[in-house]
Amino acid sequence: MTARLGIGAMLYSQAVPRPALKFQEFIPLAPYTTFRIGGPARFFCEVEGEAEVEQAVGFVKERNLPLFVLGGGSNLLVSDAGFDGMVLRVGGAASKRDGREGESVLLEVGAGENWDDVVLYAVNRGYAGIECLAGIPGDVGGTPVQNVGAYGQEVAETIVQVRAYDLETGAFVNLDYEACRFGYRRSLFNAEARGRYIVTAVTYKLRPGGEPALRYADVKRHFAAQFERGEKPSLRQVYDAVRSIREQKGMLAGQGGPDGRSAGSFFKNPVVPSTALPQIAVNAECSPEDIPRYPAGDGMVKLAAAWLVEQSGFHKGFAMGRAAISSRHTLALVNLGDATAAELIALRDAVMNAVNRKFAIQLEQEPVMLGFSSTR
Residue ranges that bind ligand EPU, judged by CB under 6 A: 150-151, 216, 218, 249, 251, 264-265, 268-269, 292, 304, 306-307, 310, 316, 329-331, 366
Residue 163's H or E segment, with its range, is strand 159-166
- Comparing CB distances to ligand EPU, the nearer of 125 and 186 is 186
- Comparing CB distances to ligand EPU, the nearer of 4 and 316 is 316
d(Cα 215, Cα 151) in Å, to the nearest integer? 7
Annotated active-site residue 357? The verdict is no
Distance of CA 284 to the CA centre of its chain: 30
User: Which residues fall within 8 angstroms of residue 69, CB to CB, at 6 or more apart?
Assistant: 88, 89, 90, 141, 198, 199
- Comparing CB distances to ligand EPU, the nearer of 167 and 354 is 354
Please give the full DSSP string across 247-307, using - where no structure is assigned: HHTT--TT--SGGGSB-S-SBPPPEEEGGGHHHHHHHHTS-GGGS-EEE-STTEEEE-HHH
- Comparing CB distances to ligand EPU, the nearer of 205 and 249 is 249
Annotated active-site residue 265? The verdict is yes
CB of residue 311 to ligand EPU, shortest distance in Å: 8
CB of residue 332 to ligand EPU, shortest distance in Å: 7
Question: What is the three-class DSSP state of 57?
Answer: helix
d(Cα 359, Cα 139) in Å, to the nearest integer? 35
- Comparing CB distances to ligand EPU, the nearer of 163 and 293 is 293
User: Is residue 76 within 8 Å of 146, Cβ to Cβ?
Assistant: no
- The helix-helix angle for 341-359 and 277-284 (nearest 10°) equals 110
- Comparing CB distances to ligand EPU, the nearer of 12 and 307 is 307
d(Cα 279, Cα 339) in Å, to the nearest integer? 37
- Comparing CB distances to ligand EPU, the nearer of 221 and 357 is 221
Catalytic annotation, pick one of 79, 187, 265, 312: 265
Q: Which residue is nearest to ligand EPU (CB)?
A: 264
- Comparing CB distances to ligand EPU, the nearer of 56 and 331 is 331
Would you mind telling me the total number of residues written for the chain in this entry?
A: 376
Burial 309-321 (b: 16+ CB within 10 A, else e): bbbbebebebebe
- The helix-helix angle for 115-124 and 235-248 (nearest 10°) equals 150
Annotated active-site residue 274? The verdict is no
CB of residue 17 to ligand EPU, shortest distance in Å: 37
CB of residue 219 to ligand EPU, shortest distance in Å: 9
CB of residue 372 to ligand EPU, shortest distance in Å: 20
Catalytic annotation, pick one of 48, 108, 154, 366: 366
User: Is residue 210 within 8 Å of 194, Cβ to Cβ?
Assistant: no
Q: Which candidate, 160, 334, 340, 172, places its Cα nearest to that of 251?
A: 334
Residue 8's H or E segment, with its range, is helix 8-13
DSSP 93: -
Catalytic annotation, pick one of 185, 261, 293, 348: 185
Strand partners, 44: 24, 87
Residues that are catalytic: 185, 265, 366
